[in-house]
Structures are given as C-alpha cells and as structure tokens.
Amino acid sequence: MSEHLFLAVPLPMQIKEKLSSFSKSWYGQLPFKKWTYQDDFHITLSFLGPVTYTKSNELVKQLQEELKNFNSFSLKLQNLGTFGDTKQPRVWWCGVNKSNELVECQKRVSKACETVGFAIEKRPYSPHITLAKKFNDHFKKEFEIPLIWDENNIKFDVSEIVLYKIHPSKQPSYEPIEMIKLLKD
C-alpha cells in the first residue's frame, strides 16, 4: 500500500498565523477555489507522489545521511506572485529569499530522492508558500491579485525538513510523519 508524500520546510506557528491572516483578508475578493489551511503552510522541497512504507523508510535513511552535516539557516518572506496566466492564475503564493542554504538543502534533498529511485523535478526550483490555488472561472467580480508584500524583515529559522503524508479530504491536509533535524549553528 502506498501513500502520497512530499518533503518540505515546515513553518513556525507565528509565520503560519501571519500568512493565514493575510490570505483571509483576501478571501472572497480573489478567484480561487482552494485556500491553504493555516496548519498546511510549508515550502515544498520535493513532491514524491505515491510511496510505499518500505521506500519511505529507505528515503528517510538517505535523507539523514545527506543532511547529517547540514546547518540550520534562516529565511525571509519577501514577495507575492502567481503561477499561470495572470488573468486566470493557478496559484497565488508568498515567496521566500532563495538563499544559498535553501538551494543547497533542496539539491541535497533531490539527490537523496534520486538515489532512492524517485523522479526529480526538472524545472528550476522556485521556493514559495501557496496561499490559494485552483482558479474559479465562475468568479464574477473584478479582481487584481496583490503582488506587493509590504511586510519587511519577517524572518524565521529552518531547523528541520519534514516528510509529509497527504490527506486530501481532511483539514489539515498534511500530516508530518518524519522529521530530519538540521545541525544547530
């Protein structure tokens, strides 16, 4: 039996609360069908799809090896953006600084995934936190997607990587099943 899994940077509660408050202020004004539940905010490192229990254990061991000497690091919320056509965006997101540490962490995660036999995303890595998704083409109001992030210096520390299981019909939809700690600076 397999479960759908992904690897991500978890966010501290104060960041989740900030993003939730911000996105809720736009609910009903923007044409999205699905708004991210507060506890589900994260930064994806690698989507895995269906994974067996045996393969997930193998992956965790490989991740622990690949990240055993990797230091914790800081990230900063810095911009807003969309994926897809600006008139019918698929996703509205909040971006983080693409630090050297985050890029290296994502590379190591991808390497571990590839070593265990997972297909790796070929597109350039674009770190983001999904606020809302699935354009609602029945939306009847005029809208303009906010793309300016006015909050400066909202920083947070990344001290672990999490393997999440997806529960599409629940809230929260993402359950942490394994945590890989990073070294303290």
Q: Is 128 noted as a catalytic residue in this protein?
A: yes
* CATH, domain range 2-181: 3.90.1140.10
For residue 123, count CB atoms less than 10 angstroms from its CB and return exposed for 0-12, middle for 13-18, buried for 19 or more.
Answer: exposed
Q: Model pTM?
A: 0.95
Q: Known catalytic residue: 138?
A: no
Catalytic residue among 4, 42, 138, 167: 42
- How far from 46 is each of 33, 49, 102, 108, 159, CA to CA, in Å? 24, 10, 13, 11, 17
AA identity, residue 68: K
**Residues near 161 by Cβ (< 8 Å), separated by ≥ 6?**
7, 8, 9, 45, 63, 67, 105, 109, 179, 180, 182
List the chain pLDDT tens, one digit each, 185 residues.
Answer: 779 999 999 999 999 999 999 999 999 999 999 999 999 999 999 999 999 999 999 999 999 999 999 999 999 999 999 999 988 999 999 999 999 999 999 999 999 999 999 998 889 999 999 999 999 998 888 898 999 888 888 999 999 999 999 999 999 999 999 999 999 86
Q: Are 32 and 133 in contact (CB under 8 A)?
A: yes
Spell out the domain ranges in the chain: 2-181
